[in-house]
């Protein structure tokens, strides 16, 4: 027994050096690739008036409410963002209902047409009060679903109109739900794999198509510090917007893009204020 333990201990120390080297190299590759990805110029190969596929990540409760306040204040132009994909978590009927209401009442002015949008329900990354021991498994399941959604292969996902050359969304917009983190990670991985494929095939000098660009909008409620999702997305999002000046200029590490102050983009519109007052 003692000799077996001694052999295992010896083997551990023999493998410690190579494993540490591999881990350090992996971290360096991730840091360099993320730094390059955030600072690389956006490919300018999109034609003027070309249709844009927008993917919006919704989260139960406050995240969804802030998202639609923001879309109304921008306001979202359906003639530019001609197709919209809404991603909601399983059991989140509130967000799915708000998406249909937004499309019907605000964009279509009372006309209920699902030709220009779709709502996709994927597994939750983490349920409320879920054990931290089981969270990694549900998160992996959610992440796998995100890969399928971005590739247009998720079960029941409608194919895009023929005018779109790829099932991948052009822009991904999220504002804090956990599923948004999974979507952004999946987008980064797909872009990295496409870059490696282009580089290995000798097509790295060919202009790339600008797809799977990510934008994160920090919650209005975050005044002095970033949310947990915000901290995790700081090195990942292509554009990181904050609504308070105290949060502007933050970066994941030196050389990375800084957070940008956008003002209060989630204030209710006059119509929403009256509706809230009436209720």
Q: What DSSP string describes 13-75?
A: HHHHHHHHHHHHHHHHHHHHHHHHHHHSPPP--PPTT---EEEEE--TTHHHHHHHHHHHHTT
264: CATH: 3.40.50.2000
- Kindly give the confidence (pLDDT) of every residue in the chain, 279 residues in length, as a single tens digit, with 9 standing for 90 and above: 566 777 767 676 777 667 777 777 777 777 777 777 777 776 665 666 778 999 999 987 789 999 999 998 887 888 888 899 999 999 899 999 999 999 988 777 655 566 789 999 999 988 777 787 888 889 999 999 999 999 999 998 988 888 888 899 999 999 988 899 999 999 999 998 888 887 787 765 555 667 899 999 999 999 999 999 999 999 999 999 999 999 999 999 898 999 999 988 887 555 544 443 443
Do 121 and 177 reside in the same domain of the chain? yes
75 and 99 within one domain: yes
- Are both 32 and 69 inside the same structural domain? no
Query: Are residue 169 and residue 200 in the same domain, yes or no?
Result: yes
Q: Are residues 24 and 123 in the same domain?
A: no
Based on the domain organization, do 136 and 27 belong to the same domain? Answer: no
How far is Cα of residue 157 from the mean position of the Cα atoms in its chain?
18
Within its chain, how far is the Cα of 61 from the centroid? 18
Beta carbons of 259 and 249 less than 8 angstroms apart: yes
Whether 33 and 78 share a structural domain: no
44 located within any domain:
no
pTM: 0.86
Q: Please tell me the total count of domains within the chain.
A: 2
Residues 34 and 67 grouped into a single domain: no
Regarding whether 207 and 134 lie in a shared domain, the answer is yes
Q: Are residues 199 and 162 in the same domain?
A: yes
pLDDT at 90: 92
Range of the domain at 28: 1-39
From 158, 140, 138, select the one nearest 149 (Cα to Cα).
158
Q: Are residues 28 and 56 in the same domain?
A: no
């Amino acid at each position: 027994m003692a000799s077996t333990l001694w052999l295992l201990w010896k083997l551990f120390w023999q493998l410690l050096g190579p494993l540490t080297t591999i881990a350090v190299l992996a971290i360096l590759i991730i840091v360099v690739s993320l730094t390059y990805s955030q600072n690389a110029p956006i490919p300018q190969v999109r034609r003027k008036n070309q249709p844009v596929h927008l993917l919006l990540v919704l989260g139960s409760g406050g995240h969804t409410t802030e998202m639609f306040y923001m879309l109304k204040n921008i306001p979202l132009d359906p003639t530019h963002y001609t197709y919209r994909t809404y991603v909601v978590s399983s059991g989140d009927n509130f967000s799915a209902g708000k998406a249909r209401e937004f499309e019907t009442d605000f964009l279509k002015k009372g006309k209920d047409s699902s030709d220009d949008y779709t709502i996709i329900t994927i597994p939750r990354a983490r349920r409320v009060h879920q054990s931290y021991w089981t969270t990694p498994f549900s998160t992996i399941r959610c992440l796998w679903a995100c890969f399928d959604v971005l590739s247009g292969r998720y079960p029941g996902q409608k194919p895009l109109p023929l005018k779109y050359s790829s099932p991948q969304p052009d822009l991904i917009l999220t504002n804090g739900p956990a599923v948004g983190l999974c979507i952004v990670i999946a987008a980064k991985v797909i872009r990295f794999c496409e870059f490696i494929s282009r580089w290995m095939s000798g097509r790295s000098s060919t202009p790339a198509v600008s797809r799977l660009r990510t934008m994160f909008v920090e919650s209005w409620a975050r005044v002095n510090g970033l949310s947990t999702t915000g901290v995790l997305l700081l090195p990942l999002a292509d554009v990181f917007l904050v609504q308070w000046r105290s949060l502007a200029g933050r970066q994941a590490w030196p050389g990375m893009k800084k957070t940008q102050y956008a003002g209060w983009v989630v204030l209710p519109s006059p119509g929403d204020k009256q509706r809230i007052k009436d209720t």
